[in-house]
Chain A
């Protein structure tokens, strides 16, 4: 193995490490954070569409019901998130990695 080859191997390993480190420290938390934010906005959307799920009559739920066939994933995820979200603080706290 020549010196050039050894440097090449070392550089490949270093690059992998750096990429992993970058992903773990920067991209992954960022991606997670944005996705959670997206879920939050989606929850607001669901709540605006179906407030009668909480006993608040809505003048448009007759119309938003038309969306139900297309909201399967959203609906399920929405319900799940509502169950295990204790407070807004907790939810927002999950978005930071201490």
Chain B
């Protein structure tokens, strides 16, 4: 298994439960495991009954398991602050307010939140994954996750264009400086080019890691909406050259005992039959195998229930394969 494992799916299907259960299983198999929530509606804290922040913290009572929750808002503030500090160092007081306006604007655009989230989770993969054998990501609902995963390539192209433009204009400025005149901009040591280059490498790292060192699983519920959405998500992943390793069916209705009669029992029997149809549909229509069927619980998934759920997951927990730098 790869070092990075992502769980995605429609909102409310139980991604958090499944990813926590998987992380729990990995930790029990003796792997140093980190579970990271990138879902703005954090619930990893609820599963383990313990508050987590944006640094990894060990989970009480589970050997070898750490957890962290990324808050894109905090990440955005940090980013803004960092640039502001750069501003006050580099830019004259007269221009600061002018540029500040631009800065605020760029952090208020709709993409900013996603960019912050992307930065945060790639940051975890690059800087914090070192001590762990496995890092499990509990991602935001399908749509935004897909957009996030699509970002590296898209942004890489964009940065390429910017690099090209910048080089072109500097080159012209250098040519314009005839004789012993000082060119207005110099190619060597241009901080803008250097920054863009660093960004480019960041995106390349993200793209490479996700293609070669990550496994994706989708969580679904046995209802038509969820199945349809899963189908679309699989397509989306394929379009981005990423392969969904397996599907996890969650919240299956338990069937009643044979000798049970009455409204409750017949309701359950009917429901189980419909769900079985949906699952058959999933098995037939979708390429990724159904790796787990998890029955719905009457109690919240916490503590010992978590280990039951973990046992139902037929996702391998072997040590990470492939050489990493």
Contact = CB atoms under 8 A, between A and B. Distances in A.
Interface of A is mostly: helix
Interface stretch (A1-9, A10-18, A51-59, A82-90): A51-59
B106 A30 contact: no
Contact of B155 (A41, A45, A60): A60
B109 A61 contact: yes
Contacts of B92: 72
Interface residues of B, number: 47
A76 B95 CA distance: 8
A38 interface: yes
A22 to B, nearest CB: 11
Contacts of B191: 70
B225 interface: no
Given A31-B176, A62-B111, A72 B165 contact: no
A25 interface: no
A67 B161 CA distance: 15
Interface stretch (B3-11, B20-28, B192-200, B275-283): B192-200
Contacts of A35: 172-173, 176, 184
B323 to A, nearest CB: 30
B90 A63 contact: no
Contacts of B86: 66, 68-70
A35 B181 CA distance: 12
Nearest to B199: A63
A30 B112 contact: no
B299 interface: no
Contacts of A39: 169
Given A38-B172, A62-B111, A75 B166 contact: no
Given A60-B158, A69-B86, A34 B195 contact: no
B178 A27 contact: yes
Contact of B111 (A44, A58, A76): A58
Contacts, number: 127
Contact of A45 (B99, B107, B166): B166
Contacts of B89: 69
Nearest to B181: A31
B165 A48 contact: yes
Give the interface residue-count category, chain A: 35 or more
Given A66-B195, A67-B192, A72 B172 contact: no
* Most chain B beta-carbon neighbours within 10 Å: one of A58, A59, A68: A68
A94 interface: no
A72 B83 contact: no
B116 A62 contact: yes
B284 interface: no
Nearest to B88: A69
A41 B99 CA distance: 20
Contact of B169 (A30, A38, A64, A66): A38
B267 interface: no
Contacts of A31: 176-178, 181
B112 A52 contact: no
B110 interface: yes
A48 B172 contact: no
Nearest to A59: B111
Given A52-B105, A58-B106, A69-B90, 10 more contacts: A31-B176, A31-B181, A34-B175, A38-B170, A62-B116, A65-B106, A66-B83, A67-B195, A68-B102, A69-B99
18 contacts: A34-B172, A41-B165, A50-B102, A52-B102, A52-B106, A58-B109, A59-B155, A62-B106, A63-B199, A64-B106, A64-B162, A65-B103, A68-B83, A68-B99, A69-B89, A70-B86, A70-B90, A72-B95
Interface of B: 79, 83, 86-87, 89-92, 95, 98-99, 102-103, 105-107, 109-112, 115-116, 154-155, 158-159, 161-162, 165-166, 168-170, 172-173, 175-179, 181, 184, 191-192, 195-196, 199
